[in-house]
Amino acid sequence: MSETLLSLQSISASMAGREILKSVSMEVRLGEFFSLLGPSGCGKTTLLRIIAGFLQPNQGKLLWCGSDATHLPPQRRDLNLVFQNYALFPHLNVFENVAFGLRMQKLPEDLVVSRVAEALSLVRMNQHARRRVTELSGGQQQRVALARAVAPRPKLVLLDEPLGALDLQLRKEMQWELKTLQRQLGMTFLYVTHDQEEAFAMSDRIAILNAGRLEQVASPEELYSRPASRFVAQFIGTANFIPAEKTSLDHARCLNSNHHFLLHETNAEVLPENYPINGDILVRPEQIILKKKQTEELKSLSGVIQMRQFLGATVRYHVELQGNHKRTLTIDQSSAGHEPIATGEHVSMLIINPSSSFFSESRLT
């Protein structure tokens, strides 16, 4: 395991009597691309401001390389921010914007020049050094803001939804660039976003924040396959919940069929050991194979096709589950060699994942 750069210890914050962060604890490791992901209003911006030093937490501690930095003023923290609206200085040109942090450190002029040139070439803006920042396009302003933040070579770069104002195409390009840049510099990036795809595309690890509470910190793969809660399961990708009962510590059984599941040992939910427990099994859309129903097969789940959407690489079906627990499932079939199934047809469903996550009924959202 690599070294811990930043460690939050039960950080709580409230504003105007409203609790915004509820005892958040997590660690950011040196050199990783870490994302803070959550719906708007979940408290991620507040957390970012606490890390940057613009806000003080009501409770908890912030450790920086192992030492307490909770009350360190922003200008003395070895981290720089990329603001959502860039917050470039309109009266300074590109060069002077990037040089600002270096000048604050009172570096000699030749060093300033070489560092700015280096930062600008990293973001491919060196030919625009003398331009006014107000004349730049959104993407270019974004790059300048990035160069300004990395030029003083901080240990950590905080990025507050920096791609929010760009259009889709540009956003995709910038995601690649950011990731490449972070690899090149070997700096730690802490990226705040509400866009799950964006976080997945770039991050080594992601922290999911919901209503001020930290739900899970894990790699994208783990978040997708082993979500710690119903919220995470639904927030990351599309989730189907199929009624099931848990029969032992690591086994569950589907209620409408004889599917059996091996449960992840990492499943965070602590349940009373009083089996069977009613609840749901998480099944992702691509983990089900649809077949036209020929004969009465007792063993498998059955349903009726309600809608079909052709999405290119996949065909998406909305299927109404038959049996005691009616609900609509979303199922993706690879479009390669797929024979379309018409709306209204009865189908049988084969679940192909060997292990899954179980969520008890008590936490039904």
Residues near other proteins (CB under 8 A) are 52, 54, 73-76, 79-81, 83, 85, 87-91, 100-101, 104-105, 132, 134, 148, 152
Residue whose CB is less far from other proteins, 89 or 310: 89
Residue whose CB is less far from other proteins, 57 or 101: 101
Strand order in the sheet with 346-351: 288-292, 346-351, 301-310, 314-321, 328-334
- Quote the least distance from Cβ 298 to other proteins, whole Å: 58
Residue whose CB is less far from other proteins, 52 or 63: 52
Report H helices in the chain. 44-52, 94-104, 109-122, 138-150, 168-185, 196-202, 220-225, 230-235
> CA 120, CA 114: separation in Å to the nearest integer?
10
Q: At what angle do helices 109-122 and 138-150 cross, to 10 degrees?
A: 130
- Quote the least distance from Cβ 145 to other proteins, whole Å: 8
Side chain identity at residue 57, one-letter code: P
Residue whose CB is less far from other proteins, 85 or 309: 85
Residue whose CB is less far from other proteins, 66 or 74: 74
Residue whose CB is less far from other proteins, 15 or 268: 15
- Quote the least distance from Cβ 346 to other proteins, whole Å: 47
> CA 201, CA 193: separation in Å to the nearest integer?
12
- Quote the least distance from Cβ 80 to other proteins, whole Å: 6
- Quote the least distance from Cβ 79 to other proteins, whole Å: 8
Residue whose CB is less far from other proteins, 135 or 173: 135
- Quote the least distance from Cβ 4 to other proteins, whole Å: 22
> CA 314, CA 336: separation in Å to the nearest integer?
8
Backbone dihedral angles phi then psi of residue 141, each to the nearest 5 degrees: -60, -40
Side chain identity at residue 236, one-letter code: I
- Quote the least distance from Cβ 135 to other proteins, whole Å: 9
Check: CB of residue 265 under 8 Å from CB of residue 250.
yes
- Quote the least distance from Cβ 91 to other proteins, whole Å: 5
Check: CB of residue 37 under 8 Å from CB of residue 199.
yes
> CA 107, CA 101: separation in Å to the nearest integer?
9
> CA 321, CA 301: separation in Å to the nearest integer?
8
3-state helix, strand, coil in the chain (%, to 5): 25, 35, 35
> CA 293, CA 304: separation in Å to the nearest integer?
10
Q: Which two tokens stand for residue 120?
A: 């600008």
- Quote the least distance from Cβ 354 to other proteins, whole Å: 48
Residue 280, Cβ density class (10 Å: 0-12 exposed, 13-18 middle, ≥19 buried): buried
Residue whose CB is less far from other proteins, 158 or 288: 158
- Quote the least distance from Cβ 115 to other proteins, whole Å: 13
Residue 17, Cβ density class (10 Å: 0-12 exposed, 13-18 middle, ≥19 buried): exposed
Residue whose CB is less far from other proteins, 54 or 275: 54
Residue whose CB is less far from other proteins, 151 or 255: 151
